[in-house]
Amino acid sequence: MKENKKVLLAYLAVCFFWGSTYLAIKIGVEDLAPTILAGTRFLIAGAIMLVYAKIKGLPFPVEKSDYINHAIVGSFMLLGANGLVVYAEQWVDSGVTSLMVSMVPIWIAIIELLILKTIKFERIGYIGLILGMVGVYMLTSTTNGIQVIDYKGVLLLMIATLLWSIGSVTSKYVKKKEAIIANIGFQMLFGGIGLAIASVITGDIYSVHFTTKSILAVAYLITFGSIIGFSSYIYVLQKWPATKAGTYAYVNPAVAVLLGMIFLNEPLTVSMIFAMGIILFGVYLVQSAKIKKYE
């Protein structure tokens, strides 16, 4: 019972703090390049996690394959997925971005259905997949005189959610011998290194300009988005199925949209609310229709 409460608290932390990170990212990219914002976040957060694990005497990876696995997961989830989300938020509203990211459970379902073949769908599940895609189309078609998102942003965010889903499923099925904290620390560190390399390739490293606002955004992302949020998510993945852990995406949009409206005056139209409902209902159908094929 005590462990169940612990997992639930970790899940709720993911729901709120990751919902709020969209606002912090939107504020941060006003002054910092995406690779710098995301790279700084994960390099510092990863280092903090590893130092903590070392002080506590927690076990570290011993096999080369363990480090490779962490590099793979970190590359998918942090370098690829989070990097693209930060990049897209340069011109996409934080609330809209969160709605796009809510597609993660659908991508996870597709991976487990078609690639891993660990689940099978009832017919209603396929309807959910279609509704999710229809909702995204409706979201991109929202106008009412306001251009909310363009197709370039849609493409980047769809790729980001796919990469995050691959990383989530990989993290779930990879055998880990070290402590969860060390596991998370290395994934962040590898993701941060990848983003640092990307900043050199893109030239972002040569135009770094930290402001008070961007420093506060990075600090928030490190503390609540990475150390608390990401740690909680990985912990939940160890205790729950990846598809169940991915349901945090139901709650994140509401948190992000509300904060975006309050602090950034981001628009929320009736058609956006309808599109949001279609997306989340599609995700719900996918989740509720899935049944295990193999134990």
Confidence of residue 67 (pLDDT cuts 50, 70, 90): very high
Residue 172 CA, distance from chain mean position: 15
The whole-model pTM stands at 0.86
Span of 26-30, 83-87, 193-197, 207-211 with lowest mean pLDDT: 207-211
Query: CA angle 46-9-229, nearest 5°?
Result: 25
CA–CA distances in Å: residue 122 to residues 119, 132, 214: 10, 16, 47
Q: Which of 261, 265, 267, 271 is nearest to 142 (CA)?
A: 271
Q: Which residues contact 66 (CB under 8 A, 6 or more apart)?
A: 176, 177, 178
pLDDT value of position 295:
47
Distance CA 145, CA 92 (A): 16
Q: What is the pLDDT of residues 252-273, one digit of tens each?
A: 888 999 999 999 998 888 888 8
Segment 212-232 shows an average pLDDT of 92
Q: What is the pLDDT of residues 129-149, one digit of tens each?
A: 899 888 888 877 755 444 556
Segment 3-32 shows an average pLDDT of 91
58 with 178: CB under 8 angstroms?
Answer: yes
Structure tokens at 149: 């998102």
> Residue 203: left if φ>0, alpha if ψ -120 to 50, beta else—which one?
left
133 with 154: CB under 8 angstroms?
Answer: no
Q: What is the pLDDT of residues 164-201, one digit of tens each?
A: 999 988 887 776 677 888 888 999 999 999 999 999 99
Segments making up each domain of the chain, as ranges: 2-292
Confidence of residue 243 (pLDDT cuts 50, 70, 90): low
Question: What DSSP string describes 47-94?
Answer: HHHHHHHHHTT-----SHHHHHHHHHHHIIIIIIIIHHHHHHTTTS-H
Kindly state the percentage of the chain with pLDDT values over 90: 46
Segment 85-89 shows an average pLDDT of 94
> Residue 160: left if φ>0, alpha if ψ -120 to 50, beta else—which one?
alpha
pLDDT value of position 149:
65
Distance CA 237, CA 183 (A): 13
